Amino acid sequence: MNASDHEQSQPVFKRLKTVCVPLMGATALTASSVPTVSRLLSELLNILYDIRSSGYSLNEATIKYVFFPIYTLLNHNDSVAIPDQPLEKIFMVLNILCKDWWWYLELKDWDQLFMLCGSVIGGIGTKGKGRERADETKDAAAQCLLTLL
């Protein structure tokens, strides 16, 4: 990263930090933390949409910074235990990240994202539990999968 890229990324990083830090503090989902996590994911989406609409491409360091709380959230919770609305927002965040990330994405990470999207679309893990993911959640997973492909 040259000096110009670093100067351009600082305001972006500061905006993302206001959401990513609190999101890291709420990665273990409980009934009481779900509304906070959902709100933080909405804020993160708004910031990412704003960044993308300004024509800024996310660099690898910024992508990894945003991905870390998402990864931690997914890693600390069974995917079937994550409510539809937060999971939909997670896929929306991943979709935005993947638009620039595919340049840097390691094969093992691509594989994990591919399997996560596919499991939600295919209903893996929800069979026999009397619960199917909402169409909006499946659509968000499909959009992410399409971006990966």
CA gap 84, 91 in Å, rounded: 10
Whole-model pTM above 0.85?
yes
**pLDDT score, position 127:** 61
pLDDT in 10s for each residue of the chain, 149 residues? 444 454 557 888 999 999 999 999 999 999 999 999 999 999 999 999 999 999 888 899 999 999 999 999 999 998 888 999 999 999 999 999 999 988 788 999 999 999 999 999 998 876 656 578 999 999 999 999 999 98
Q: Is 37 exposed, middle or buried (0-12, 13-18, 19+ CB in 10 A)?
A: buried
Which two three-digit tokens encode residue 7?
Answer: 């100067």
Q: How far is CA 41 from CA 24, 56, 73, in A?
A: 11, 20, 11
CA gap 110, 98 in Å, rounded: 9
Which two three-digit tokens encode residue 117?
Answer: 């999207």
CA gap 123, 132 in Å, rounded: 7
